[in-house]
Structure 1
Amino acid sequence: QRATGHLTRRSLSPNLDPRPPFFLGGREALSRPAMDTAEAAWGVASLRLGSRRLGSRSSYRERGADVFSRASSAAGAGSEDDEEALMWAALERLPTHSRVRKGFVVGDDGSGVELGLIDVAALGYQERTRLLDRLVRVAEEDHEHFLRRLKQRIDRVGIDFPTIQVRYEHLNIEALAHVGNRGLPTFINTTLNVLETLANLLHIVPNKKIPINILHDVNGIIKPKRMTLLLGPPGSGKTTLLLALAGKLDSDLKVSGKVTYNGHGMNEFVAQRSAAYISQHDLHIAEMTVRETLAFSARCQGIGSRYDMLTELSRREKAANIKPDPDLDVYMKAISVGGQDTNIITDYILKILGLDICADTMVGDDMLRGISGGQRKRVTTGEMMVGAERALFMDEISTGLDSSTTYQIVKSLGLITNILSGTTVISLLQPAPETYNLFDDIILLSDGHIVYQGPREHVLEFFESMGFKCPDRKGVADFLQEVTSRKDQPQYWARSDRRYQYVPVKEFARAFQAFHAGQSLSAELSRPFDRSQCHPASLTTSTYGASKTELLRACIEREWLLMKRNMFVYRFRAFQLLVMTVIVMTLFLRTNMHHRTVNDGIVYLGALFFAIVAHMFNGFSELALATIKLPVFFKQRDYLFFPAWAYAIPTWILKIPISCVE
């Protein structure tokens, strides 16, 4: 083989591995001679491919050619087919852990065929952009086709996507808080709160906080492959419910009942890594661009089980002698390899969220001009979508967005949920009718009670049974949010044989239990989830998405980037110190200073004191920069992006040289 450069395909058994879903075990073991043969085959294939091209080089990056373009000659189609077969044969000879990092692409821009070898972990910006243009040229038109191609490849070898079913039963949440003027965050109230807390711990005075019920005995099921819309007036408990389902409730709250994922309690896995909560508050570092923000998030959240899934997929395709689409193969390999500074999943999320037009614009804040408020809201959504979590809980993601943009985002999320078996709950405030129709299930929450949970098609039927009808020209979502309000409820009363009387929320909740959708939900909750059906990759037990070394490296690189972006501050501080130094040096020029008595020592101490004070005031600018980033740090720490030490150590290391110079 080494002498002739010819490769023969091994006869492979068409039988698939009987192991269920995808195997999460170790990599394929090959003997040293087999690995040598595989590497030699890959080298021969690369050399043969390179010899057929003008000015070809052995390295893809050194060649600098466009691997996604086609050569001008159509007469060499047969030759290119042979080269493609040669590449597939070489890929199949590699061990699995090497095969998932190698790929080749055949591009088509109307100028011919070009075959190129690539290392998926080293894709540059241009290569990632061209690959995505081939897969999803127009997000509104090609996104569904791309997802169905991806699912078809996985279904073809009998691999199942991990799914998550979330159940909450008899969930009650209560908070203790001061009311009235005592609850205002003033200096006096804060001081009194601290003293009162100490007195309560010592049992000197009773607790004067008043209990406030947020959620009252709520029950329900969030099913995979279905889009769930959470509706309710402000203050109804939507955010608290989403936080409870995502496992991110504040520890000060009193919680009873249980929330389970696939029948597993919250103490059996890491909920923050298994589900992603997207807050309604946009907290981002202003000096970073949109692409850098999403890339850092993807780097910290890791690849999850995508590598294990790709390994099993590659093994089964090899056993069944199946050749996948080259572009799709490169994409799946690129999103499954960790340790990349910028993963192609970042570019994919930017495209489907419509952020590709501002990808290299700074996020900005009140002091630094950046992207618009609607784009910042989409950055908040994309920051969590780049992760590998299978469940998404989104809180008010449409604030600041026009109805058209909201529709496109929800449609994309619906495609991902329905085709890739995700679990999605989205809280929206007054969605447009076309956006409302994209959802499969509805949860209506009011005053901490679940008024309705079930299929979207039956929600109007339930309220009509209660005597309320949605007008023809009224949006269903607006009707649902107003029908439980004492002020707006009378206008929807539709019974002429009965005088209107206000129907409280508790009566709606009791009536739903007797409604057929409520009875079906109760019957389903009475049957426990079969834990044996839980996919091994559905729930995550690791605390962080990457190794501690990788997280520290990511934080160091981000801190260095922010220092370069704020270089004006450090230059101004250096200039300020230089001016102060010149003044102090020339203040007592050619003056003899004695050091014989205590008073002489006091003069030296005064000089030291002045130097320390100047250094202290010079560091106040650094204090402001650190304080501004604290809300982002708290959010990312609570979402388990990184441990606190990984954030603190880079700041300490990179600031030491500056302090020494000062």
Structure 2
Amino acid sequence: MSISASQAEKLSHEVNLSGSTLSFLHLSYQVNPKGMKGRLLVDDVSVTVRAGKSTLLDLMALRKTPLDGALVQQMSTFVEHEDALLGVLTVRESVSYALRLHLPMLPLREVAARVNRVLTALGLQFCANQRIGTPISRGISGGQKRRVTAACAMVTFPHILLLDEVTSGLDSTSAREVMSAIRTLAVAEGMIVIATIHQPSLETLAQFTNILLLADGSTCFSGKADDLEGFLERWGHPVGKFTTPSDHAMNFLNKDFTQTTGQEISSDARAFRNFYLSTNPSVPDSVFKVADPEAFVGVDTESGRSGALGTLFWNTMVLSERTAVNYSRNMLAYGVRAGMYAGMGLMLATIWIRLGSDDSTINDRLSVHFFSVAFLAFMSVAGIPGFLEERSVCYRETKNGLYSTLPFVLSNTLINMPFLFVCTVLFTLILYWAIGLHPGRSAFCRFLAFLYLAILAAESQMLIIASFLPIFVAALVIGAFVNGFWMSVGGYFIKARSLPRFWFYSFHYMDYQRYAFELLANSDFCGLTFKCVTSVNGSCDCAYPSSTPETCTVSGADVLDYLGIGYISYGKWAAILIAITLIYRILLYFALNVRSN
């Protein structure tokens, strides 16, 4: 497309209702696997679309190479082969949120009207209030999910709609109705629709204006859908009585079961292509030149948009609302997590119940603080499944330009924080008084606040891992390894001063578990005094060196000093935990941004 960036920006707010044209000239794409010969997946394809393969759609949507495609990326929406939807949302909510993210300032009345129109067109009005479905809660069918995915794209009324096997999972009647609805809506709204499809019936094929047949990435036919049957007859292979033209053509073009090893294209496909080229000489490049953008006559369709900062704010608000709904309904991902925190608190409370005030309980108290941090850090892996679902939706929506990565990270943080705070409160209420930690309201609040900061850091760390490793088992393994590593260098199993210099001066100072453990230990031990054991001969035998042997007691400060974790600044250590969390969140933004791009 020979359109400048400034022209693209201007055109992104217009639709040419009088008849848009989309052209691709000499489109090629080659992959080069290691140790193998490079292979052309798309080879010199030129096509004009007036209102495939998946690789071709990816190229058209500029998802394979970092080309300068401001116009296409701003004006197109791509419906991928796999559905990415939040299972706890209803059909109506899924489509409504997609529209509100695209046009955050659009009045809710207009949102509802447009959503109802699209749902009716795609035959989803009768299941509009049903949930998509989760592993533990049955929802709509697979074919209906495909239509919901298409509805989420079409409700924004994009200028160019790219559909990858949108009829997958549908019977022939449903496929025909869906394609008919898409065609009707596309004509009404001036959309260009490019779709890949498998085994279309005659009625479904009739919905297409033009078709493009590919074999090994090369064009074998491009023209009117009605002309395919005549083309096959002129080639000497007329369509049989009970066969559709597309199926008959694919009998010659499908090479999976006919080609020999190392053969680029089957002999039938080569003959098919050669006959097409002989009857359709190359089209001059001038045919594909885009008209002067200044001559385009269009109408504004962006009345619901706001400025950059306004869009960021409203996208964050809409995403926060959707995330809150997801958290409140998804019992598997979030309700069970809250129960796990409460269960862990109950377990620790009953194991370390009513610790005494003699020096034999000092190590037990230290263990409570260490395992409170370590166990809850490990439990952050429970958030991976829910995040992976959100992540897949985020990638689909950011690639289609509904919003950028920043509002997703901001909304996730805004909703994640109160949820984790509730979990921390449940854990602390059950554990703190049952064990008999430092008495007093201020000590309790410090324990709650410091543990909460540790959980925020652990959660942020796990989200980064899940961003790079979208497979639950892989993220679980790496997350467990990382948390185990932080436990090893935190200074509990081995004194920090005894760590090798490399580990002490590097990862020990980056360990969020170390700062959390030291904060909890100082908050509890400072101000406490433990009785030492008196031996038979009357001498005082303390488990830790005491500064007050005459009273046969050891203070909490003595214990902390011996361990090398005393005299810390609550404010400084808490600020470090906050800084670690912020760094993790920034890294999460870049991780998602890299993967999205």
Normalised-by-shorter TM-score class: 0.5 to 0.7
Amino acid at match of 2:77: A
The corresponding residue for 1:73 is: none
Q: Determine the structure 2 residue equivalent to 1:348.
A: 117
Q: Secondary structure at the match of 1:473?
A: coil
> Where do 5+ consecutive residues of structure 2 fail to align?
1-9, 259-265, 425-597
One-letter code aligned to 1:223: R
- Structure 1 residues 616 and 421: CA distance shift in structure 2, 3 A: closer
- AA matched with 1:481: M
Superposition deviation, residue 581 in structure 1: 4.0
2:63 counterpart residue number:
248
Cα offsets for 1:402-424 (capped at 9, x unmatched): 11111112112222334443211
Q: 1:404 to 1:625 in 2, by over 3 A?
A: same
Counterpart in the other structure of 1:214? 41
Check 1:572–1:240 CA distance in 2 against 1; reply closer, same or farther (3 A cut). Answer: closer
Q: Distance in 1 between matches of 2:380 and 2:243?
A: 59
Cα gap change, 1:459 to 1:523, in 2 (>3 Å): farther
Gaps of 5+ in 1: 1-23, 26-158, 179-207, 225-229, 231-237, 252-265, 304-335, 490-501
Q: Is residue 2:368 matched to residue 1:635? A: no
* Secondary structure of residue in 2 paired with 1:483: helix
Displacement of 1:294 in angstroms is 0.5
Give CA deviations for 1:173-212 in whole Å, capped at 9, x if unaligned: 011224xxxxxxxxxxxxxxxxxxxxxxxxxxxxx45422
Kindly state the Cα deviation for residue 568 of structure 1 after the two structures are TM-superposed: 7.1
Change (3 A) 1:216 1:244: same
Please point out which of 33, 46, 49 is paired with 1:177.
33
Equivalent in the alignment of 2:87 = 286
Quick one: distance in 1 between partners of 2:413 and 2:274? 58
% identical aligned pairs: 20
Which whole-Å CA distance do the structure 2 matches of 1:531 and 1:570 have between them? 50
Counterpart pick for 2:128 among 339, 348, 359: 359
Shift of 1:650: 2.1
Provide the rounded CA distance (Å) in 2 between the counterparts of 1:376 and 1:355: 10
1:455 to 200, 204, 224: 224
Q: Give the counterpart of 1:550 among 276, 301, 314.
A: 314
Q: How does 1:78-93 map to 2 (within 5 A)?
A: none
- Find the partner of 1:295 among 96, 102, 105: 96
Greater RCO (CA < 8 Å, at least 6 residues apart): 1
1:608 pairs with 2:369: yes
SS at match of 1:219: strand
SS in 1 for 2:137: coil
Q: Displacement, 1:430?
A: 0.8
- The answer as to whether partners of 2:32 and 2:38 remain within 8 angstroms in 1 is yes
Q: State the distance in 2 between where 1:577 and 1:424 align.
A: 49
Which amino acid in structure 2 is aligned with residue 480 of structure 1? A
Following superposition, the deviation at residue 590 of structure 1 comes to 5.8
Per-residue CA deviations over 1:605-630 (Å, capped at 9, x if unaligned) read 22211211332244332233223332
SS of the equivalent of 2:161 reads: strand
1:493-512 pair list within 5 angstroms: 503-512=267-276
Find the aligned partners of 1:300 and 1:428 in 2 and give their Cα distance.
28
Q: Secondary structure at the match of 2:68?
A: helix
1:166 Cα offset (Å): 1.5
1:441 aligns with 2:268: no
Q: Distance in 2 between matches of 1:340 and 1:606?
A: 57
1:443-491 deviation line (CA, Å, top 9, x unaligned): 11111111111122322333333222111332112112113346999xx
SS class of match (1:399): coil
Query: In the alignment, residue 631 of structure 1 is paired with which amino acid?
Result: S
2:181 to 409, 412, 415: 412
CA distance in 2, matches of 1:423, 1:645: 30
SS in 1 for 2:222: strand
Amino acid at match of 2:193: T
Worse-matched range after superposition: 618-627 or 294-303 = 618-627
Task: Show the counterpart of 1:426.
Answer: 195
Aligned: 1:626 with 2:441: no
Taking a change above 3 Å as real, the CA distance of residues 519 and 565 of structure 1, as seen in their structure-2 partners, is same
- Aligned-partner SS, 1:170: strand
Give the Cα separation in 1 of the matches to 2:335 and 2:233. 69
**How far does residue 340 in structure 1 lie from its aligned partner after superposition?**
6.6
Check 1:169–1:568 CA distance in 2 against 1; reply closer, same or farther (3 A cut): closer
Q: 2:22 aligns with which of 156, 166, 172?
A: 166
AA paired with 1:347? N
Given that 2:355 and 2:361 are in contact with CA atoms closer than 8 Å, whether structure 1 keeps it comes out as no
Q: Structure 2 vs 1, CA of residues 449 and 581 (structure 1 numbering), >3 Å: closer, same or farther?
A: closer
Q: Secondary structure at the match of 1:215?
A: strand
Q: Distance in 2 between matches of 1:571 and 1:220?
A: 51
Conserved 8 A contact 2:121-2:182: no
The count of residues paired between Structure 1 and Structure 2 equals: 402
TM-score by length of 1: 0.55
- Matches of 2:235 and 2:325, distance apart in 1: 59
Between the aligned partners of 1:590 and 1:222, the Cα distance in structure 2 is 76
1:54 is matched with: none
Aligned to 1:272: 73
1:160 to 1:545, Cα distance in 2 relative to 1, 3 A: farther
Q: Is the alpha carbon distance of 1:531 and 1:376 closer, same or farther for their aligned partners in structure 2, counting shifts above 3 Å? A: same
AA at the equivalent of 2:368: A
**Following TM superposition, by how much is the alpha carbon of 1:341 offset from its aligned partner in structure 2, in angstroms?**
9.4
- AA partner of residue 549 (structure 1): F
SS at match of 1:430: coil
Letter in 2 for 1:176: N
Q: Secondary structure at the match of 1:248?
A: coil
Conservation of the 8 A alpha-carbon contact between 1:173 and 1:216: yes
CA RMSD of aligned residues (A): 3.5
- Answer yes or no: is the 8 Å Cα contact 1:163–1:422 preserved in 2: no
Alpha-carbon shift at residue 270 of structure 1 (Å)? 4.2
How has the CA–CA distance of structure 1 residues 525 and 513 changed in structure 2, closer, same or farther, with 3 Å as cutoff?
farther
Distance 1:362 1:557 in 2: 17
1:444·1:453 contact (CA, 8 Å) conserved in 2? Answer: yes
Distance 2:171 2:419 in 1: 46
Distance 2:308 2:63 in 1: 15
User: Displacement of 1:400 after TM fit?
Assistant: 1.0
CA contact (8 A) 2:122 2:182 kept: no
SS state at 1:361 partner: coil
1:648 aligned to 2:409?
yes
Query: SS of 2:253's equivalent?
Result: coil
Q: Is the 8 A contact 1:374 1:400 kept in 2?
A: yes
1:433 Cα offset (Å): 1.0
Q: TM-score, normalised by structure 2?
A: 0.60
What is the match of residue 534 of structure 1?
296
Q: CA offset at residue 339 of structure 1? A: 6.4
